[in-house]
Structure 1
């Protein structure tokens, strides 16, 4: 088996952690070889079970290192099993960059573009890992073919995506001996993306001198920590959170209200750090109370980060918050923008950055539009005559200001004044000459020069006054727009993050906030906390200034997915929520479930929740007792034994499938559909006949 390049093993650079070498895969700063990826025993003897308590922060961080390395190896190894269906491309050019082991590569368009089960089209990203080879790999055994050359590399930066060709910078695990003939016969085969694991690796401070905020981390190491206990000083001050305004409290039960108010109370404590555990079995309203808590702290002008395990979960939390905002849009929350169609895309950071880039365009952005509006209101009659000559002036009413609350208030007032100005003009019954006379009186005058001119009617005066007020506000808005500062997307991204009251992201993505100078967070909420590896939860907990955290989850539900059996046995999939819970740390139980029919909740309640879970009044209604088809199989639940089924690995998504079970489910769905559709037709016929 050949190698593409002259170096083997781990490469030349090693990172040290307490005197120990910590080799890692591509992207971690130290590299694995393809042989290492296939070696299931590579870290087997270096992994020990992650303890429940820790002696120090170093002990805590180091406990996750080798299980994380083994998990990354296992993920890449699993991807190699389906290498024949992986996206690949032929290399157009490859050049060695200024530093060793870095290369500039250009490739043709990608083949086999579908990834994640065909749900997405592949686009190269940083931390994508590739096999660089002189042959198009069909199976793992091709790596052993005589004359085959290969290397492992990861994308450092995507320089340019021009559609048919893509330029990017990569880092290789071994030096590549470049020759003219080699340039014409190289392929890059996508293996996987290790962004999340790389972020966890960096957050563990392996090979890095940077340190984050370890205040909360230090407090969750030992079981005797008081981090989860109520503050004695705050209790003595008798802070009364029950008197706080909680919009929509009537929609919550007593325990849900207590969870929200208790979280707010701990967030306001300045004496100690706190970690609050909210335990919510399925259907008890975990996401609902998170949205209510966010809405409450938003009105209190706090800065809060909400993390989840997946982007789908972020979508769910944000959607729930928007529903709360829509119901309470007549309230005092002025910092959440409300959209007509409630498009959640409008809240995505990338969407807002793109919109702000348009707004700061010198030729067509805010500054140009505000200047045009000022000119228009100063010289209304002149522009009117130009309009009559079929030359139009575009007036944009959706102008905005930013930076300070005063300027934001000016923006809101301006929109109201423009609407008032429009209303006054629509109510006026003046003829054309009268309107021209009104606006000619102030043409080119100073903004405050209403003095010395007697209006012929009160409506005339109101119109003139409204125009002057619009001009005053427009000038204030214009002065607040600083185009020069926002000429780069990165600066606009930082501006959005610095000024946002609520930030939503996955726990992994919160790593980007570690390098952004933002105002210290008042609170972090981790939803689905029991589905996050503890080492992943450690990323957002290290944000500067953070002292209070709320973990919402249920350790009895599915934990984080771990693909390595060795890492799973070591406890890599255990969450911080589960570890603290197992140590006897108190957690607030949301005991009323509003999702399952009582006959369904009966088993999990008895088996996993010691009978503590109660059924909500809605699941006891007749609506939950409806049976659309006769037979016991179509009751609230059924156990169906499917024989002769075999599990197999899907070639694309790597997931397990059982086609016999799929066939059984399809038959049940068809029967259900036919039965319910027939009932629907009969009911419509009877209703029509009546």
Structure 2
């Protein structure tokens, strides 16, 4: 929360149009309205919509009335406040609107779920085996039974695995997880799979889950983020379809997640809870669902040909859709075998009717079908439909609970797993587990049915995001994967990478994995050698030295940017567009920046420029975790004479940055600064020089031209702005005494007249007196 306060001015906000006190202590109902003008003026790209668990700060400042879009109906929310709120806020006074604004600080839903799971006694009572193994590892000497390779079950698994095209390390990881689960059935344990970048971690997980499904074992698969959950669910779904014969039911596979944040599309909609409930709700609707359609079919059998043509137009397709949705979205294990066969029989009869009609039979032939009576068959078919009509219709909540309870393969974030109460799941699989705080692991572990847990991750990549230094020092962000690994728990290493050109993989392999990772044959073949731009500078791997760059801090001094590197990136992208357009080849490019300010600077520079057929993605290191692109351009930003590189020296962040590219990795940076840093980046520059992969940007005419122009522009701006400043400045956040301070600067010859308003805008409400003191000092200075 303290970290959130430091960057409060950059947080999304909304205007509160009314506040009404409700019954209860400090409980209020607020109405909010969207203000496009305010959002635009504050560079707020999206309107903020509160959700359950959000902590917001209420701040009052004055805006001119009449500019707001008051036609849109406000939304209402119930909030709990830390203090008394004046219900008069938001009303107009003296022609101006005294608005109250709600600024988003953070959401505490995940923290609440973690807190509920932190009671050790309760956790041990619910799942004693895994929780005790987690807390007290190792409880006993790590002596595990090994599966007899000659056993029937083992041979069946090896036969199925042989069709999956896994390498030896992937095969070993899968078979060991299954072995430990079966041979330690009377106790609980963890398996660790160590998956460095590009080693097929997601594929290995999907095969493990596929085998669990084949063996009728329920699994819950979690990950820290929605994106990671979607990636593993998508890969597993594709594997299921590849190994299915005909149309198979997917009702036992379920994807959970917030509709707005999950952004599900494509095939994943087939297993997404929200879409499944919607489809099944249509099947059970009284007026349009399967009961209505089946009733019409009964009338068809009773009245025959006279209703057939009308039925074909009105009812058959609806019934066909409803029955297929039932077979597809409801697990076969949840349907009685006789009912399952009945649905298939009805679908077969509908196909027979269609085949008769499509053969353009004469009316007499169709009438003969209806007039034909086989007493036994007719009685059986009719009673079958009457039996189905006795099934009751279901409501949305019941359908939702049924889908969760009946699924045996479930995907969700670790936090969302609190919604799962399924008693069928025996195996917990956590992907990207090195990014999950250990306390977060307790949320899915609360299910008492788990006998085994598989943690897949890589502690050499990014850990959980922790903004507080106090929490970082207390190892609050450490993952269970990292802790068990540090205690000597066995890890199954995936030791072959399929992503990077060998020139790209060699440095991270030696620096972070002690040379344990080998390159797959697919990346060493000639087909993996791509040439997109002329010159050795733009080969598979290069460090482009940009001397004389200038790093700048953003307004809050929290982030940095380097405009020289920005124009170099723009020029490279322009040249790529020309080359790829001429060659008619598509390529994906990722631009990775360690600093958010650099990301924003590049996005602003490129604007809405089109680079087709080059697809460009610009993001921070965190945003590229788990991703990959054909070409990666890495902007290191830092350029100073002191060798200061800040958190750029973090080895885990460096590892992620260097391992996202398939064919080409071009690193931009100031070699002098990086060599003086004494960090992993000094090793990287030396390695690039030793391998003849080091190039000066000035040696390329196009790059030298844009660098010279940008330096000239920066010098002009510096001269233009070289006027005396009166400045009151400190970091935006608590100082050593724990109070808040602000930063204001202006031209001494022309101070602004609305400085009080600026102070109001930039200071939290409880620091208003301090802001007034600063404003008074500035006004005294203005008068003097």
TM-score past 0.5 threshold: yes
Aligned equivalent of 2:322: 399
CA RMSD of aligned residues (A): 3.8
> 1:490/1:395 Cα in 2 relative to 1: closer, same or farther (>3 Å)?
closer
Aligned equivalent of 1:126: 52
Aligned equivalent of 2:407: 500
> 1:623/1:412 Cα in 2 relative to 1: closer, same or farther (>3 Å)?
farther
Aligned equivalent of 2:365: 434
Cα distance in 1 for partners of 2:345, 2:306 equals 23
Task: Give the 3-state SS of the residue equivalent to 2:293 in structure 1.
Answer: helix
> 1:412/1:188 Cα in 2 relative to 1: closer, same or farther (>3 Å)?
farther
Of the candidates 449, 473, 478, which is equivalent to residue 389 of structure 2?
A: 478
Q: Is the 8 A contact 1:646 1:658 kept in 2?
A: yes
Pairing 1:583-602 to 2, within 5 Å after superposition? 583-602=487-506
Pairing 1:520-669 to 2, within 5 Å after superposition? 520-642=424-546, 643-646=548-551, 648-649=553-554, 658-669=562-573
Task: Give the 3-state SS of the residue equivalent to 2:341 in structure 1.
Answer: helix
1:317-365 per-position Cα deviation (integer Å, ceiling 9, x unaligned): 1111122122112189644689xx9621232112222222333221222
> 1:421/1:187 Cα in 2 relative to 1: closer, same or farther (>3 Å)?
same
Aligned equivalent of 1:224: 138
> 1:337/1:243 Cα in 2 relative to 1: closer, same or farther (>3 Å)?
closer
Shift of residue 295, structure 1, vs aligned partner: 1.4
- Higher helix content, 1 or 2: 2
1:643-685 per-position Cα deviation (integer Å, ceiling 9, x unaligned): 424254599xx9765444332222112112222333449xxxx
> 1:306/1:508 Cα in 2 relative to 1: closer, same or farther (>3 Å)?
same
Cα distance in 1 for partners of 2:62, 2:118 equals 37
> 1:279/1:103 Cα in 2 relative to 1: closer, same or farther (>3 Å)?
same
Pairing 1:454-473 to 2, within 5 Å after superposition? 471=382, 473=384
Pairing 1:651-690 to 2, within 5 Å after superposition? 658-680=562-584
The reply to whether residue 280 of structure 1 matches residue 195 of structure 2 is yes
Q: Is the 8 A contact 1:311 1:506 kept in 2?
A: yes
Aligned equivalent of 1:80: 8
Q: TM-score, normalised by structure 2?
A: 0.63
Cα distance in 2 for partners of 1:536, 1:650 equals 34
Aligned equivalent of 2:33: 108
Cα distance in 2 for partners of 1:608, 1:408 equals 57
1:371-406 per-position Cα deviation (integer Å, ceiling 9, x unaligned): 222222332313137679x98887521233454342
> 1:602/1:424 Cα in 2 relative to 1: closer, same or farther (>3 Å)?
same
1:279-333 per-position Cα deviation (integer Å, ceiling 9, x unaligned): 1111110000111111111122221111011111111111111221221121896
Cα distance in 2 for partners of 1:325, 1:430 equals 41
Task: Give the 3-state SS of the residue equivalent to 1:676 in structure 2.
Answer: helix
1:160-186 per-position Cα deviation (integer Å, ceiling 9, x unaligned): xx9622122211112446469979955
The reply to whether residue 96 of structure 1 matches residue 22 of structure 2 is yes
- Higher strand content, 1 or 2: 2
Aligned equivalent of 2:106: 193
Shift of residue 469, structure 1, vs aligned partner: 6.7
Structure 2: 5+ residue runs without aligned partners? Answer: 65-70, 254-264, 586-784
**310-319 or 349-358: bigger deviation:** 349-358
> 1:435/1:490 Cα in 2 relative to 1: closer, same or farther (>3 Å)?
closer
Of the candidates 250, 265, 273, which is equivalent to residue 179 of structure 2?
A: 265
> 1:321/1:137 Cα in 2 relative to 1: closer, same or farther (>3 Å)?
farther
Q: Say which structure, 1 or 2, has more relative contact order (CA 8 Å, 6+ apart).
A: 1
Aligned equivalent of 1:42: none
1:116-135 per-position Cα deviation (integer Å, ceiling 9, x unaligned): 99776532210112222443
Of the candidates 300, 325, 349, which is equivalent to residue 376 of structure 1?
A: 300
Structure 1: 5+ residue runs without aligned partners? Answer: 1-71, 139-161, 443-448, 452-464, 682-690
1:94-133 per-position Cα deviation (integer Å, ceiling 9, x unaligned): 1223x3222222233455679x997765322101122224
> 1:508/1:96 Cα in 2 relative to 1: closer, same or farther (>3 Å)?
same
Aligned equivalent of 1:318: 233
Cα distance in 1 for partners of 2:45, 2:25 equals 37
Aligned equivalent of 1:290: 205
Aligned equivalent of 2:625: none
Q: Is the 8 A contact 1:109 1:164 kept in 2?
A: no
Q: Is the 8 A contact 1:283 1:594 kept in 2?
A: yes
